[in-house]
Structure formats: structure tokens, C-alpha cells
Amino acid sequence: MLVEPIGFFYGDAVYKYDAPRQGRLFAGHPGRIELARGKNFETALRDLDGFERLWVIFQFHENEGWRPTTRPPVPAEGRDRVGTFASRSPYRPNPIGLSCVRLLRVEGLVLHVDEADLLNGTPVLDIKPYIPMADAFPDARAGWVEAQAHDLWSVSAGARFAEQNAWIAERSPFDLFSFAHVQLSHGPFDDTRRRLSVNRDSSTGMLAYRTFRIFFSFDSAVRTIQLDRVESGYTLSELENPDDRYGDKQLHRDFVALWQ
């Protein structure tokens, strides 16, 4: 079987933990699909702009190997793991993914989309229109998913965090708000899946993002989380050490000089 990409997806989600678990649940993750030139794909795109949603078939290009079972991001009560074929796990025998994205507009060979759960640089294998009368089965049984505990929270950015995040985004591929939104919007206090510490007495917490630390406060009564500030995960002595395993110490030195 010979398969080659027809194009690539480009967006803000650089690392696997940046991508939302299901695109439609996290609107605000836009991106674009750039199709290959010289393939007559301009003609193949004809009439597509009348559709609101698209099926995107893609390759899980960052994964190696597969697993027969997986632990869902939101497991059902009493069910820690499920079979891979009963899940949306990216670790599959053939690393093929399927995502239903919202089409914003078509510009030449570029498709602008939203509600995407793909990583930057994802190879796209095919595109098909979503047709509600053929593709939607709202009354279909959903197995163990129906027993999930839907622990949804609203995540917002405080002024200081927003300013710091913008500064970091201008100088690196990191979007700390996007990451925190994905990680904290559903079951935010599950520390088995993320580097997280929570103080329920003070309603505060800390979420680790690579070598940065995101500090937040929350209100359990109304299920809201505010991202308050960012701090470097390096100590001053570590920043003085020339060893730079992740290649980001100069970014942190500049950040500490300005913000800490």
C-alpha cells in the first residue's frame, strides 16, 4: 500500500500535550492545511467551500509503535483502561487519525480551519466533506464513553499571565495559554496525567509546561480557573550553568531578568 501526504497541517500545537483531546470540545484551535502544488488539487477543491465541516484523515507522525490498551484522558468510573479499538488513542497499529474540523475558508491551496486537534506539521492524507444526513448519528450508543464524568471548567488568563504569555510566544514556539486550556478545562485536578500541584485550602495550583511553571487560582463553586502568572522552572544557579539540555536557557535568562 503506497500512501503519500496530499499536504500538511500548520497550527500552534507543537507538542503532543498542546493538542486538544477532541477538537470540537476546544474551539479556538485554528490552523491551516496547505496542499501540495503541481497535483491539480486546485480542481479537486472545487465546490468544497459550501461545506461547514471536513473529515481530515492524517498520520500520527510523532508516534512510534502501538498499544493494545490505553488509559482514556477521561476514564469512566471503575474502568482505568480500554481496548485501543474502543478508543481514540493515537497509538494504533497503523498510525492513522481522523478528525472533523470546521472549515473557515478556502484560499487557493490553503484551507483555513478551526477546532483542530492536529499538531503542527501533521501530514494530511485525505480530505472529505462532512455530510450531516450521512455522518451524524446523535442517538447512537457510545459504550464506556457514556459513563465518563464530565468535569468541565472555564479557563481564563489574568492580565499578568497574558502579558507574559505574549512575551514568550513572540520569542519561542510555546503557547502557554493553549496548553493550560487543554490541560485544565476537563478534570483539572487529575495529577496522574500532568505535572501538577494543587493547594485546595488556598484554591491555588501550579502546572508545569516544559521548563516553565504556570500558577493559577480557582473557584470550585463556579468551576473557573484563572491563570495568574508564569515563572521559570530553572533556579538561578541552573541558569548560570552553561549546560543547556533543552536549548532554552537564554530565553529563561531574559524572562527572569524582566519578570522575576
Which is more confidently placed, 7 or 65? 7
Strand partners, 8: 34, 123
Mean pLDDT is lowest, of 22-31, 96-105, 110-119, 230-239, for 22-31
Please state whether the predicted TM-score (pTM) of the whole model is above 0.95: no
Q: How far is CA 13 from CA 20, 41, 260, in A?
A: 9, 26, 27
Give the number of residues written for the chain.
260
Report how far apart the first and last C-alpha atoms of the chain are (Å, whole number).
Answer: 55
Mean pLDDT is lowest, of 25-29, 131-135, 165-169, for 25-29
Q: How far apart are CA 237 and CA 252, in angstroms?
A: 12
Domains present along the chain, CATH in parentheses: 7-147 (2.40.30.70), 154-259 (3.30.2310.20)
Q: Which tens digits make up the pLDDT trace of 188-213?
A: 887 666 689 999 999 999 999 889 99
Other C-beta atoms closer than 10 Å to the C-beta of 86 total 13
The arithmetic mean of pLDDT across residues 144-157, rounded, is: 77
Q: What is the pLDDT of residue 18?
A: 63
* 26 alpha carbon, distance to own chain's centre: 9
Which is more confidently placed, 168 or 16? 168
Other C-beta atoms closer than 10 Å to the C-beta of 198 total 16
**Residue at grid coordinates 486546485:** 42
Q: What percentage of the chain has pLDDT greater than the value 70? A: 89
Q: How far apart are CA 154 and CA 44, in angstroms?
A: 40
Query: What count of Cα atoms within 13 Å lies in the side-chain half-sphere of residue 204?
Result: 5
Mean pLDDT is lowest, of 73-77, 176-180, 213-217, for 73-77
Q: Which tens digits make up the pLDDT trace of 80-123?
A: 788 899 888 888 999 999 999 999 999 999 999 998 889 899 99
Q: Is the pLDDT of residue 146 over 90?
A: no
Q: What is the pLDDT of residue 16?
A: 67
Q: Is the pLDDT of residue 78 over 90?
A: no
Mean pLDDT is lowest, of 22-26, 99-103, 182-186, 252-256, for 22-26
Other C-beta atoms closer than 10 Å to the C-beta of 212 total 23
Q: Which tens digits make up the pLDDT trace of 156-168?
A: 999 999 999 999 9
The arithmetic mean of pLDDT across residues 14-28, rounded, is: 58
Q: What is the pLDDT of residue 193?
A: 62
| pLDDT confidence tier of residue 26, bands split at 50, 70 and 90 | very low
- 59, with CB counted inside 10 A (0-12, 13-18, 19+), is middle
- The pairing of strands 53-59 and 96-107 is antiparallel
